[in-house]
Structure 1
Amino acid sequence: MRRGQVDTGTTDQRLLDSAGSTDWVHTDPWRVLRIQAEFVEGFGALAELGPAIAVFGSARTRGEDPDYLVGEKIGGRLAEEGFAVITGGGPGAMEAANKGASEAGGVSVGLGIELPFEAGLNPWVDRGINFRYFFARKTMFVKYSQGFVVLPGGLGTFDELFEALTLVQTQKVTSFPVVLMGTSYWQGLLDWLRGTVLAGGKISPDDLDLLTLTDDVEEAVALMVKARDGALPTPPAERPE
């Protein structure tokens, strides 16, 4: 929807907002069916996708930005190695990865989300699903991706990154590679994690080993290929006692 037809609220907001009227007591049970429908649609559309890598990054990345070109190259190389490429389906870095995958003849997937300030899936998405609920969408990323490549981004990118790390750390999912693309962008975050969070005993050294920082597209793609082919070592947290 555009212009005057844009809904300034979201379905997630209405689900989670229990303030005011108690009408939600009567409507929430029916929302369960809509939530169920999103999971059914997602599972049905992606069940036979095959090996896939999720690529995250800022929707604000412009076409002339070097990060956009890196996104295109990542998408294309992953497609050439037989991976489907899954993004959030939006503009910017997500569009770049979808474009690279599509132009390389691969499967380009977009998992969109209902937002009042974004207008649908980017034109390079070949297989797309629009979600109302963030948690349903996040499940699809984790369930159908064998690795994450994270380009420079903002709060949404941080959310996906740290959720993935938490799920791996707590062994809620099988460990998979997480690559941060762009040393100049991400180095400060890693320095803070090591110098403040690790130094303060809030994480373990093994937690930092879950991340790979690089500027090299080929290194990132090779890591995903090794993970798919079972050539990566088992993380310490998952090794038998």
Structure 2
Amino acid sequence: LSCFKNIMNWPTPQQSITYELPIMGHTFRFKTPKQGSCALIVDASRTSSNSAPPLSVDIYTNFIHFLPDLWCFWELILLGEPLLIISDFPDQCSEAVLGLVSLISPLVFGGDFRPFFTMHDPDFKRISSLDMSTPEEGNSSDPQRSLLIGVTNPFFRKELNTWPHHLCLGPHPTRRYISSSVPYFHTKHKPLTPVNHQLLSTLVSKKADCLEKNEAL
């Protein structure tokens, strides 16, 4: 809750301005980019050469069926909850995973995320054997739960059936192809913070404009 209050008190970002943002007893220095450049965030209390700019990913196209759920996605990523992303295309599931990680920017996701995970991955056996049926309250005691995985093989729906959160992206909105996949979001998560309905309404209202631009490209 204190983390949420910190974030809600952050100022509205403007271009090319450096902010010092308090979060959970730490202060992060965050410089907003000029148009076309990358943002940079560093821990103001430390000097690090490994800081990386947050990624810019198309949220609208990949989550076109789930815009009202973005707030829930944001909470799940902040909490480090295990989330399985299922898609018809490797590039779509990869972009979706990166898009979810970017939702908490300028914070850095502290878990393990795999934009495109397959059965041939060296960690397949370890990850598929994890029991994720533990309630969310046990999340902080087991860092192995902080997993975000993108897949295209429907086999993972059964293999990872103990995972509490499954997101199937469904047909790609700008690609002409026949797909039998049905979009769905299965979760046991109950919101812990008040939903900003005004923000979600703004995102939904811009959906049509975004799709038109993507189709033009």
TM-score of the two chains, using structure 1 as the length reference: 0.29
Q: Which structure's relative contact order is higher, taking Cα pairs within 8 Å and 6+ residues apart?
A: 2
TM-score of the two chains, using structure 2 as the length reference: 0.31
- Of Structure 1 and Structure 2, the greater helix share is in 1
Larger of the two Rg values belongs to structure: 1
